[in-house]
Structure 1
Amino acid sequence: MKKIYFLLLTFLISTISFGQVVINEIDADTPGTDTAEFIELKGTPGASLNGLVVVLFNGSNDTSYAAYDLDGKTLDANGFFILANTPLISGQDIDLGASNSLQNGADAVAVYTADETDFPNGTAPTTTNLVDAIVYGTSDADATGLLTGLGETVQYDENLNSASDSESLQLNAAGTAYETKTPTFRLENNAAVCELSLTSTTAVCDASTTGTDTYTATVDFSGGGTSTYTVTADSGTVDLTAGDPSVDATGTITVTGVVEGTDVMISVTDGGLCDLESTVTSPVCEPSIGLPLYEGFDYTVGADLGDQPNWNNFSGSDNPIDVVAGSLSYPNLEDSTGNSVHLEGGFIDSELVFTPVTSGEIFTSFIINVRDLSNITDLADGGYVVVLGDFDVRLWIHPDTDPVGTTYDIAITNSSTGSNFTTTKFNVNDNVFIVMSYNIDTGAINGWINPADSDLGGTAPAALITDIDTSPSASIDTFILRQDSTGETPSMDFDELRIGTSWSDVTPNTLSINQVEANTFNVYPNPTSTGYVNITSKTNDVINVAVFDILGKQVLNNAVNNNRLDVSTLTTGVYIMKISQNGQVITKKLVVK
């Protein structure tokens, strides 16, 4: 008999405890894709929630669509318990999922003394064992079925102030009705809080060179438009074009022109509750393209070269260098993988920055096709269209003044004026293969034009053009395509750019490579879809292989183990292999399927 009295007393205490649990706040409509939804219960701090279930009802059919058991849960030290989207939860909170878990209305939330199994989806609302309930919407017509089924008389409007995504429904101090206000997540509903939040940050380099660059910093915000805010930064210039927290509910604060190596602190204050700070860490704005480098201009026809990966427009504002259809070729030079680009004058120059070469010799090669010389008015020296380094080596195109006007000569020099032009004349609409080199240690400049097939892929022959830089640069890290005035720049196509530290890096001759390979190396399968390639030679000495992507970035550098190179980490595409053994070096295309 005593046991019965004890059980009865326990039931009465539980009933009283459950009766004190209320739905304190609900935010069903939040900014963006609804990733900040929550239901906040409130009661006696530390009280157990065993025996309770939270049920969600859909006003479109007046039945339940989710239920969450609270067994094993307790109210926290402040008397709160949270059910929320994934980004908001912590501790013992119940995860409602990443987003869009609470329907915006007309819908309802109810707390019952029951189990979730008592409320399978599609269950009608009831007042049996009901502890608390709220019927809500966002300017929706009343859900009379839910109101009647839950014994409620009022459907509360989260959009009462036309700001449903930035306000929530909160139980008033008397516990008699709900108010539409700025969310007070895990706080008392009458707590004074800063409504603005600073969230994710970014830092993007404006350029990536070996010198000191600038970057642009951003910080996203939400809860704006609720006060007058002052935005400052301890470096750079504040730009509120993409979001002003004094006006916009959400947006992005931008700070431009921050010096690389300097972290920037962005501060937002309103002279009252809000005194927020967010620090954006400086990125490292260094070139990441290694050598040897190959650029086949495999981009969309009509695109601006300066918008492509690793390229940057750094001078001029009109007439960018465009990607054009088709590619240029030279006998026995490895085939192009993409399109080409077109220069015609107009003052926009594009540059490619790579890992600096600080000693020895740097080589570059490319193919040009001059389409039209008729616009050139500077007949003294024409103009220069290619630059290696900080104007250390320049390629000049000079129109010949014969009666036909369809030939030109070429100079490769350090000079800022055309000089030392070739005696050989080159024809409009012919592909011309050019190799240039610069010795960082001595300032020596060499140039080759249309080298013989037998010289490709081996060692450099005697140069056709030579010059000297009497004040050699300490490093070379830039390649420039230059469009001077229309009176100095011919209409021309440019393709097959290669940059490396040896003649063989920039003159890959398919014929000569195959001959060397036949004599010394065997590479198979190629193309490969097996995750490996076999590389063998006539000797058992170590074979080293470096693999580069088409932009020249090194992606593998390994010694061959048991004649097998593991390429399983490479994605589908075309790569360049540099294979070396006992001083014998070849380059070879690798195709991964």
Structure 2
Amino acid sequence: MLQKLLSLALFLLFNVSFSQIVINEIDVDTDGTDQLEFIELKSSTANFSLDGYVLVLFNAGSSSPYSNTVSYFTYDLDGFTTDVNGIAHFGNTMVSPSPMGSFLNGTIQNGPDVIALYQGNPSDFPLNTNATATNLIDAVAYATNSFQPSNMMSILGITYCTNENLNGQKDTQSIQRKNDGTYEVKNPTPGVNNDGSGVTINFVTVTTDQAFYTEGENFMLTFTTDTPVTNQNLIINFTLVNGNFMVNDYSGGGGLTVTIPIGQTTESTTLTLVDDSTNEGDEEMLIDVQTLPFGYSSSNDNIIIRIYDNDYIVETYGTPLNPTYGLVTPTIPAGYYDSLEGLSGASLKQAIQDIIANPSVVHAHNYGDIYDILKVSDINPENSNQVWEMYVESPIAILDQQFSSSNIGVWNREHIFPQSRGGFSGGTDSNPDGINVWLPTNANDILAGHADAHHIRVEDGAENSARSNKDFGLDYNGPVGSQGSWHGDVARALFYMAVRYNSLGLVNGDPSDSTDDQLGDLASLLQWNTSDPSDDFEMNRNNYIYTWQVNRNPFIDYPLLADYVFGSNYGDTWSFALSNQNFSTANVKVYPNPTTDYLMISGIEGAATVEIYTLTGQLVHKKPFENAIRLNIDLTSGIYLVKVLNGTESVVRKIIVR
């Protein structure tokens, strides 16, 4: 009996503790570009910790009957605490008083949708998670019209949907909870009790003189109150440490305390970022205001400021947009490809598979390990604290890895052969376990494709979503303005996948985006393999992935193999004498790159011919020469392909003309 009473007491305590916080006010549709959106919470007790809570925004679809129930945004509430009135609000940076935490303008959809408060973490609600009543604390159904998100309301136990446009003033009014638990629509009251009661708060706002800094720079922190300080000087203590950003990363100033005198509203302090000589990587400083006296509250606490490390490493080889060739030595083990010599057709393809899917050699890792692999394999050669986003052809800070459901301004993992079409979606664990933990694999182990780094690249989150399950060539050619620096990389990755895994194939044309196991367009891929030749960036990738998976992509090491397995030379006998690998990497030099009016070509023995093509294949210049040449050119700005032919061999270089 005692045990039952104890269990009941714990149950009641649990439910009481998690009923102390509700969604108090939301403003989902504001004037213009939605710069004044916010979500406000209210706790029944002051200074209530929000650790262990998460806001989840659910999308009900775009048309009646609004039957969708999936999440589109999450906001982690760990580290936040309600103020003396039990209030905490989160929203756009233009909201006044400033929200405790911010998110991008236009984040909240206009509805009919649902905003829910859960006990949990953002990781519990990845993008497109279905609505659930499990661990639900509170939820508000809203709209800006007469429709309702009926399906979600049923799932979450919501009985009423509030129309923010009830008074015809959706752009200037918000939805607010009344003391009886119902909701009304009136002028917004962010950061204060909806009925005007409670302690009048003097909000403290923190600003910096720059949005980001580099090691060695001074940084100024300014603390400003909404109204002048009264009664006694306001002493503000704060901390800056966060992760790898430690106390030895800054110095000077007046320490981590500022004092705003009576009658004043602002005070500043200046510190210096220590410029060491170690490449620790970019870091993020966290401005965390400590507990303030009664009557004051932080309006924008827990501010993240990016600190760029100026000791980054610059590699000798170029980026995909400014490629180099022959500077990265292939780490091909002796005899690795010997078994291919003299084979053709299906026998050649099988021999390649026997190497790259050898169950006694090849290692299969998991999806969690991929991030650790990509942070090295896809490093930006010009800055070791960045990785290279493939389709958008630009670098991004390693720190900007996607950790939440929002994919804006972050990078994530792009499967070149789409997960759903390849049949390996979710095929491996998402928890990293390192290079020394692996499973054996074979050509029928399609689930290993889920974490096969040879076809997974760093990509801009939004562009990754835009590409989705599309085929290449006829269907997807990258974002507007793409220079195609990734075309050959994609082709060679897909050639690898179609040989490595028995169930996968490449076909001509543009099959449906829902077609399983096959991807197009093979003709485009074969052309891309030639027009965007394997460069040092790709070879460095191949070398590093080999250290994890103990297999290589043969089509990077020997691009000509693609024609013998998939293209016009299918059925012809393969011989390494046919490969232009030594010719292309060790001898021929085409420089300067970029250039304006001339090219130098060297490393040739005997008679040769140089041909210059546009990316669309138009021949614009051709000239025979011997051994070396200074070639004067008069070309419009752009990217061109320089083809050097020497006897039966040829090599292609990509150049930029400015």
TM over 0.5: no
Structure with more of its chain in strand, by fraction: 1
TM-score normalised by length of structure 2: 0.27
Query: TM-score, length-normalised on structure 1?
Result: 0.30
Structure number with higher helix proportion = 2
